[in-house]
Chain A
Amino acid sequence: MSDIKITIIDREGQRHEVDAPTDMNMNIMEVCKAYDLPVQAVCGGMAMCATCQCYIISDHDLGERNDDEEAMLWEASFVKDNSRLGCQIPITEDLEGLVIELAPEE
């Protein structure tokens, strides 16, 4: 297992290319926090706050939203078709080259 590179576009439009480990059971929200990107993650990763909402910019297939994620995104603001909760997306090798953009804060 190795690190993958993902690109995170912050709310000022700045691109951050970061290394994300695939062998530490991390998710996108945790990677953002590890790099001090402004993701609050109020609920700590339980899909209960939407403060880690991001837009998937690249054409990676992340699979369907799970029920919790879907329900949370129904209640959140600034939701687009490509919205996902960072906390519900585990880092895997398939995500090499993923580009995401942080959704605006509510």
Chain B
Amino acid sequence: MITTDILIIGAGPTGLFAVFEAGLLKLKCHIIDALAQPGGQCTELYPKKPIYDIPGFPEVLAGDLVNNLMKQIEPFQPGFTLGERAETIDKLDDGTFIVTTNKGTKHHTKIVAIAGGLGSFEPRKPTIDGLEKYEDKGLAYMIKDPEDYRGKKVVIAGGGDSALDWSIFLADVASEVTLVHRREEFRGALDSVEKVEELVDQDKIRLVTPAEILDINGEGAVESVLLQHNDEAKRMEVIECDAFIPLFGLAPKLGPIADWGLEIEKNAIKVDNTLDYQTNIPGIYAIGDVNTYPGKLKLILCGFHEATLMCQSAYQRIFPDKRYVMKYTTVGGIDGFDGSRKEAEKAVVKKIGNKQNV
């Protein structure tokens, strides 16, 4: 069982920044995210797109913002449960919570902060009958650990950055990589497209376009996929493989959180005030794009503000008898849980020039 002070659901910018603000209050955080890596929409949808309304950054790429946030929270050593979706929540008699993921990982926490954006990003699944029976048995919608594919025959489907990037990466790990796309054009970073072309020329990737996977076959696990070439003849081909990885992007779903008894309004979690962004269930907060209240603006910078106020309230809930006085980081510095300390350099000048103190 993982134990923490604040369990944050959602590893987007708001969730990540909440770790920092909690850390200043010496509260430990653990983050759950359905995606295999932190960053939420920023990482998954538009890592190379510039954002222009983050204070202090005239322009920052979404991916760089996430990298910076990860660096900023490093001293506070958050835990991560990635690639798993928060499924159920149980409130214990002492007011704490147990949150369990779809993979059965249990988290015991004093506070739950839902920072799930528009919900958990679920992978878009291809329309293949009986798909579910191969899930985690050779069929995966995201790659958590590329080592799982070492020496294996892998078929990747998709035409975006993920499909390109993973094809490139697995070309050196898997024994065979076949990249299948329904179109001849790919939508991804130019250098990735060029790299794939290069690897195709070197016979390290087999590229099949335009084509699509129609079926999966295998006894208990993926053994082959049925591919249809989208040419005039609609030629069929069976590709033997150990793994099939369709990377068709993501679709947002509020998911199981919608059944937690929280007040929901238009697919968002209603918070009763803008004092601390607490939901109708005491101890559960909703911050960032996932919440709604009068005047709500879905902006990263608003999520940062909400995360800050949420942490102050969480502190008071955990330590009702303690009074915390907010300190500026310029004054108080940062004490990492790893023993690190950051603080402004101090200098004491007793004498300036030749003038003596009298």
Contact = CB atoms under 8 A, between A and B. Distances in A.
A74 B127 contact: no
Given A51-B251, A74-B182, A75-B249, A106 B124 contact: yes
Given A68-B187, A75-B158, A77-B127, A48 B45 contact: yes
A42 to B, nearest CB: 5
B133 interface: no
B45 A46 contact: yes
Contacts of B160: 71, 75
Contacts of B46: 43, 46, 48
Given A74-B183, A75-B249, A106-B124, A49 B45 contact: yes
Interface string A19-57: 000000000000000001010101100101111000000
B41 A43 contact: yes
Interface residues of A, number: 19
B159 interface: yes
B102 interface: no
Contacts of A40: 118, 252, 267
Report which residue of A38, A46, A106 has the largest number of chain B beta carbons within 10 angstroms of its beta carbon: A106
A53 B124 CA distance: 15
A76 B267 CA distance: 21
A61 interface: no
Interface string B142-159: 000000000000000011
A80 to B, nearest CB: 15
A12 interface: no
Interface string B182-223: 110101000000000000000000000000000000000000
B352 to A, nearest CB: 54
A71 B41 contact: no
Nearest to A49: B45
Interface string B249-273: 1111000000000000011000000
A51 B267 CA distance: 14
Interface of B: 41, 45-46, 49, 118, 124, 127, 158-160, 182-183, 185, 187, 248-252, 266-267
23 contacts: A38-B266, A40-B118, A40-B267, A43-B45, A43-B46, A49-B250, A50-B249, A50-B251, A51-B251, A67-B187, A71-B160, A71-B185, A71-B187, A72-B187, A74-B159, A74-B182, A74-B183, A75-B124, A75-B158, A75-B160, A75-B248, A77-B127, A106-B124
Given A49-B251, A71-B159, A71-B160, 9 more contacts: A38-B266, A42-B45, A42-B118, A43-B41, A48-B45, A49-B250, A50-B251, A67-B185, A75-B124
